């Protein structure tokens, strides 16, 4: 059954096949919107978009276009419907795809929002109301986050920034050993603790 909830200035539709929007994640939208004020021109990319609420709220007042990517067809349908319902359909493209196949060579984005599952697999039973595919991040909770970083590495525009959501500061620290950071292409420049989760700003080095 479809539910509706307020998310910032938007009304978001979803059901139990997708992750219920959490009010605290609007902080990711707000941070991304702030970055858009000074970022180079171009569209915004949202990875693991779910019902699209974080990306939609981020671009709602900016005039920027948004590309949402999710592998879940139901989530993509809701993201499209939410774009329509909130008057943003003409600026939003939703791609149902695995992360590794969603973009073409040369597509670049000055702002990337990434909302991957980040719960370690052995802990997913603590959240029975959440769809497993929306929260299962693999053994250490970072499998999908690493896939997001690979996309950011390839498609973040010069002068651009990504906002990545993970579960803990320890996870953020673990990701610093990824080649995109150790080889100097990307840099974690700020980490913010939220009510439940952590946001990391990642810039093109």
Here the CATH number for the domain that contains residue 167 is 3.40.50.150
In a domain, 149, yes or no: yes
The two structure tokens encoding residue 137: 């991040």
Confidence of residue 195 (pLDDT cuts 50, 70, 90): confident
| pTM for the full predicted model | 0.96
Q: Which domain holds residue 158?
A: 25-204
Nearest to 113 by CA among 171, 165, 183, 65: 165
**Number of independent structural domains in the chain:** 1
Mean pLDDT of 78-107: 97
Question: Per-residue pLDDT averaged across 40-67, rounded?
Answer: 97
In a domain, 11, yes or no: no
Beta carbons of 164 and 156 less than 8 angstroms apart: no
| Residues in contact with 174: Cβ distance below 8 Å, sequence separation at least 6, in sequence order | 140, 142
In a domain, 8, yes or no: no
90 in a structural domain: yes
DSSP state of 34: H
């Amino acid at each position: 059954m479809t539910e509706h909830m307020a998310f910032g200035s938007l009304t978001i539709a979803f059901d139990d096949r997708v992750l219920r929007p959490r009010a605290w994640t609007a902080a990711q939208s707000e941070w991304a919107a702030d970055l858009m004020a000074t970022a180079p021109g171009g569209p915004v990319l949202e990875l693991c978009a779910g019902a699209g609420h974080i990306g939609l709220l981020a671009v709602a007042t900016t005039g920027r276009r948004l590309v949402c990517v999710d592998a879940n067809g139901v989530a993509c349908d809701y993201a499209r419907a939410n774009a329509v319902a909130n008057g943003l359909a003409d600026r939003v493209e939703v791609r149902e795809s695995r992360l590794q196949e969603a973009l073409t060579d040369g597509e670049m984005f000055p702002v990337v929002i990434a909302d991957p599952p980040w719960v370690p697999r052995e802990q997913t039973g603590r959240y029975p109301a959440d769809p497993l595919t929306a929260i299962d991040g693999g053994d250490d909770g970072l499998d999908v986050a690493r896939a997001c970083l690979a996309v950011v590495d390839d498609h973040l525009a010069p002068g651009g920034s990504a906002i990545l959501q993970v579960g803990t500061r320890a996870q953020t620290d673990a990701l610093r050993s990824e080649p995109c950071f150790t080889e100097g292409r990307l840099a974690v420049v700020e980490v913010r603790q939220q009510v439940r989760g952590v946001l990391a700003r990642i810039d093109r080095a």
